[in-house]
Amino acid sequence: MLRLRDVCKSFGTREILRGISLEAEGGRISCIIGPNGSGKTTILRIADLLEAPDAGEIAFNGDDVLALGPEERIEYRRRMAMVFQQPALYDLSVYDNVAIGLRIRGIDKVVAGKRVEEALKAVNLYDLRSARAHSLSGGEAQRLCLAGAMVVEPEGLLLDEPTANLDPANTIIVEEIIREYASVKKGIVVFTTHNMFEAKRLADRILFLMEGRAIEEGDAAKVLNNPKEDMTARFLKGEMVFG
Amino acid sequence: MDITEIFYEVISITALSFRVTGIAIASAALLAIPLGSLLGLFDFRGKRVLVTLINTLMGLPPVVVGLILYLTLSRSGALGPLDLLYTPMAMIMAQFIMAIPIIMGLSYSAISAVPQRLVERTISLGATRNQLVIVIIREARVGILASIVAAFGGAISEVGAIMLVGGNIRYFTRALTTAIVLYTNMGEFGMAIALGLILLSTSFVINLFLTYLQMKDQGTRGPKLPKGVD
C-alpha cells in the first residue's frame, strides 16, 4: 500500500499542495482528478521521490519512504514506475527505450528480450521495435513510455495523464492495460486526469483536487455520482470552478 | 629532388601531421569530455564564469598559443629543461591546448541539451548515479562526437602554433600546413597544391568516418523544412 499523509509542497511563495492525503492499495485504481494546475502531477512526483515534500509522510507497505537512505530510495524507485505526461524518449530504438529499465536493474539479456517483446506487443508497437523512438507519433510515444513502465513489473504504477495524447482506440488499449495490471497483477495504480469520463471508466477511488487542496476523497462511484462538495459537483458538470 | 625523395617526403609530412593531430585530439578528448560532462552535470559556484572562459578560449588564436608555449619550452622557460622545443611533442602540446576548450565547451553544450525530463525518467527508473551519468553522456553522444570533429578539423588545418614550436624541420617536424607555407614561399606551387589536396582529401576521409559514427542509426538530425511548402 502507498500512503501519503498531509503532504505539503510550495515552489517559492506558491503553495502547490496543502496537506494532501492519499491511500492507494494493490488491485485498486486510484485517480487524482482536478483541473490544470491543481497539483496532480506534483503528488505523483513526490510519490516517486522526484520532489521532496515540505511536510507530510509517505509510506510504502508500512515503511517510511522519506527516511530511506540513497540506495534504499533507488530500490524504492525500482519497485515503482512512473509514466510522465510529456513522453520522455531516449535517442535510441523503440526496443531499447523499453529495455532500458531492465538494463538498469541488471536483468539477464534473454529474459529482458522476452519481456520487452511482450510489453511492445501489449501496446501495439512490436512492429516498430527497430524504429527510432523519436520518429514515433505523440500517441505512440505515450504507449512506448507505458510499455517501458510495465516491462519492469513494478509494484506500483504512477501515471500522469496517461491517455492525454491518445485517440479513442489507443485510449481503450491503455485503459485495458491499466485495468489488467490492477486486477490481475494486483498492482497499485495512481493516475491523474482532468477527464471525468476516464475517471468514471477506470477509478475505484477518487481524490478531487483543487488549487492544491483535497476537496473530496472516496469511493469513485460515490464521488462521481453523488458528490458531497458543491465544487466537485460543479467540476463534474463541466462548469468553471476556478477561484 | 627526384620522385622517390618527393614521395618519401610527402609520406613523412602526411604521417607526421596525422600522428601529431591524432595523438593531440585523442588525449584532449580523454581529458576534456569528462570535464565538459562534469560541467554540464553539476551546478557550482563560478560555473557561469568558467563557461564564459571556456567559450572565450574556444576562439584562442593559435599563434598566441604557439607564442606562450614557445616561451614556456624555450631554454629559459619553465619547461625548458625538458628540451621539447622543435619536436613533434611540442606540436602535440600546442594542438592539445587548443583542442581542450573546443571539446570541453561543445561537450558541455551537448550534455546541457539533454532534456531534464529524460534525466527524471532515468532517475524514476531507479538508475544509480553512475548509470544516470552514462545515460546522459550516451544521449549527448552526437554532440560530443561533433566536438571531436570540430577540434580535429581545427587542429589538422592549424599552422601558426605548430610552426612556432615545431620549427618546420624537414623529416622531423614538418607538417602538411607548415610545408604548404614553406613551398608557397619558395614558389614551388605544384608541391604546395599537391600537399593541400592531400590535406583536404585525408581530412575529408577522416571526417567522413567521424560523421558516419555521428549519424549512424539515427539519420540526419535537427529541424527539417517541410517538403512542398513555399
Tell me the residues of chain A between 75 and 94 that have a Cβ less than 8 Å away from chain B: 75, 77-78, 80-82, 84, 86, 88-91, 93
Q: What pLDDT, in 10s, does the model give residues B92-131?
A: 999 999 999 999 999 999 999 999 999 999 999 999 999 9
**What integer pLDDT is reported at residue B213 of this predicted model?**
80
**Rounded average pLDDT over B153-171:** 94
Confidence of residue A243 (pLDDT cuts 50, 70, 90): very low
Residue A200 CA to residue A195 CA, distance in Å, equals: 9
Among the partner residues A77, A91, A105, nearest to B124 by beta-carbon distance: A77
Q: Three-state DSSP class for A55?
A: strand
The answer, yes or no, to whether ipTM is higher than 0.85 is yes
Does residue A127 have a pLDDT over 80? yes
Does residue A239 have a pLDDT over 80? no
Which residues of chain B neighbour A148 with C-beta distances below 8 Å? 125
The verdict on A129 touching B (C-beta cutoff 8 Å) is: no
What number of C-beta contacts closer than 8 Å exist between A and B?
57
Q: How far is A87 from chain B (nearest CA, A)?
A: 8
Which residues of chain B neighbour A101 with C-beta distances below 8 Å? 125-126
Contact B124 A93 (CB under 8 A): no
The verdict on B213 touching A (C-beta cutoff 8 Å) is: no
Tell me the residues of chain B between 73 and 112 that have a Cβ less than 8 Å away from chain A: none
The verdict on B170 touching A (C-beta cutoff 8 Å) is: no
Whole-number percent of chain B with pLDDT over 70: 95
Does residue A242 have a pLDDT over 70? no
The verdict on B128 touching A (C-beta cutoff 8 Å) is: yes
Q: How far is A51 from chain B (nearest CA, A)?
A: 10
Cβ-contact A188, A25 below 8 angstroms: yes
- Backbone φ, ψ for residue B98 (5° rounding): -75, -30
Contact A104 B127 (CB under 8 A): yes
Which residues of chain B neighbour A106 with C-beta distances below 8 Å? none
Contact A84 B128 (CB under 8 A): no
Mutate to test the interface with A, among B122, B123, B124 (most CBs of A within 10 A): B124
End-to-end CA separation in angstroms for chain A: 34
Which residues of chain A neighbour B224 with C-beta distances below 8 Å? none
Going from the C-alpha of B206 to that of each of B22, B23, B105, B151, B156, the distances in angstroms are 11, 14, 22, 13, 11
Q: How far is B133 from chain A (nearest CA, A)?
A: 12
Cell numbers standing for residue B223: 529541424
Does residue B84 have a pLDDT over 60? yes
**Rounded average pLDDT over B184-213:** 90
Residue ranges in chain B assigned as alpha helix (H): 3-41, 47-57, 62-73, 88-112, 116-124, 129-139, 141-156, 160-166, 176-185, 189-215
The verdict on B222 touching A (C-beta cutoff 8 Å) is: no
Confidence of residue B223 (pLDDT cuts 50, 70, 90): low
Name beta bridge partners: A15: A10
Q: What pLDDT, in 10s, does the model give residues A20-63?
A: 999 999 999 999 998 888 999 999 999 999 999 999 999 999 99
Going from the C-alpha of A61 to that of each of A4, A23, A106, A229, B185, the distances in angstroms are 11, 11, 24, 31, 81
Q: How far is A91 from chain B (nearest CA, A)?
A: 6
The verdict on A72 touching B (C-beta cutoff 8 Å) is: no
Question: Taking all residues of chain B, what is their mean pLDDT, rounded to a whole number?
Answer: 91
Residue A52 CA to residue B106 CA, distance in Å, equals: 33
Does residue B218 have a pLDDT over 90? no
